[in-house]
């Protein structure tokens, strides 16, 4: 089974005043009729490389679960669970929570961890990339997705691709933080760099092993927060006392910079 996990906890502060605490940008209709969350859920396939795709798991901020549930219901999507963070702890904690939750739910299952606020003009091409990366994830790689840069953008992180492991799948030489203009222009001219999309595909048990090796404190706090969570139907409210102990770090630096199993589609 493949479980999409949609990260919905962002505050959307860069889009203020349109995006506000009660309704961050992922819950707004910015492109087309659907909200960004609805569009994200709608572009998910039902089968990935022959594997059934479960209803999405939503990880959102405190107080956001009613709007997330309502918006998904309007497009006929039944989430596997809505996991509520009592406070933000960045994307590594989200990845750890998702991995422990899915591994307990379905041992050996995989996760597609994706942002809720992206606009994708070609959903079919997007899903083809996910299917291309799935076998590598099944083999234990932590797969991310690079976007071909079209301008020397200084607001994005970059991925430097290394050796091609199979068709369209590359080992990652380095993750590079947001560059200055001259460096971004050099990346564009080089051709071996892509924008870091922040989407990841992996087996839950493989990610748990990576956390054990590289970020055990985050994994321990995330698992403890699940063990002390309150549950009502499919709403899982993480235990606040445990979750607040999770170091706040992006998954890129906590895991992807350190693992030897990083690959990019």
Strand 2-8 with 169-176, pairing: unpaired
Cβ atoms of 238 and 225 within 8 Å: the answer is yes
Give the HSE-up count for residue 163: Cα atoms under 13 Å, Cβ half-sphere. 2
pLDDT value, residue 259: 95
Q: What is the mean pLDDT of residues 44-73?
A: 95
**Predicted confidence (pLDDT) at residue 21 exceeds the cutoff of 60:** no
- pLDDT tens figures, 133-180: 999 999 999 999 999 999 999 999 999 999 999 889 999 999 988 899
Cβ atoms of 61 and 215 within 8 Å: the answer is no
- Identify the three-state secondary structure at position 261: coil
pLDDT value, residue 23: 62
Share of the chain above pLDDT 70, in %: 94
pLDDT value, residue 193: 95
The whole-chain average pLDDT of the chain stands at 93
- pLDDT tens figures, 122-140: 999 999 999 999 999 999 9
Say how many C-beta atoms besides its own lie within 10 A of residue 79's C-beta: 21
What CA–CA distance (Å, rounded) separates 139 from 165?
Answer: 12
Q: At what angle do helices 204-214 and 90-105 cross, to 10 degrees?
A: 130
pLDDT value, residue 31: 75
pLDDT class of 19 with cuts at 50, 70, 90: very low
Nearest Cα residue to 94 out of 263, 265, 255: 255
């Amino acid at each position: 089974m493949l479980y999409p996990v949609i990260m919905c906890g962002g505050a959307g502060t860069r889009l203020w005043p349109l995006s506000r605490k009660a309704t961050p940008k992922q819950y707004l209709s910015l492109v087309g009729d659907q909200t960004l969350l609805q569009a994200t859920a709608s572009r998910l396939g039902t089968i990935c490389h022959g594997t059934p795709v479960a209803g999405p798991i939503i990880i959102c901020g405190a107080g956001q679960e009613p709007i997330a549930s309502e918006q998904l219901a309007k497009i006929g999507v039944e989430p596997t669970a809505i996991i509520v963070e009592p406070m933000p702890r960045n994307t590594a904690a989200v990845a750890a929570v998702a991995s422990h939750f899915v591994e307990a739910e379905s041992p050996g299952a995989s996760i597609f961890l994706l942002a809720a606020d992206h606009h994708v003009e070609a959903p079919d091409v997007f899903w083809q990339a996910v299917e291309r990366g799935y076998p590598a994830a099944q083999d234990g790689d932590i797969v991310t997705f690079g976007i071909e840069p079209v301008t020397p953008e200084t607001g994005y992180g970059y991925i430097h691709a290394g050796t091609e492991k199979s068709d369209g799948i590359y080992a990652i030489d380095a993750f590079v933080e947001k560059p200055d203009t001259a460096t971004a222009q050099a990346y564009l001219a080089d051709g071996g760099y892509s924008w870091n999309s922040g989407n990841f595909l992996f087996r839950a048990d493989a990610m748990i092993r990576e956390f054990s090796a590289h970020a055990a404190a985050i994994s321990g706090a995330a698992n403890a927060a699940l063990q002390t969570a309150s549950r009502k139907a499919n709403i899982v409210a993480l235990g606040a006392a445990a979750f607040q102990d999770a170091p706040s770090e992006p998954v890129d630096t906590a895991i992807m910079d350190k693992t030897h199993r990083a690959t990019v589609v």
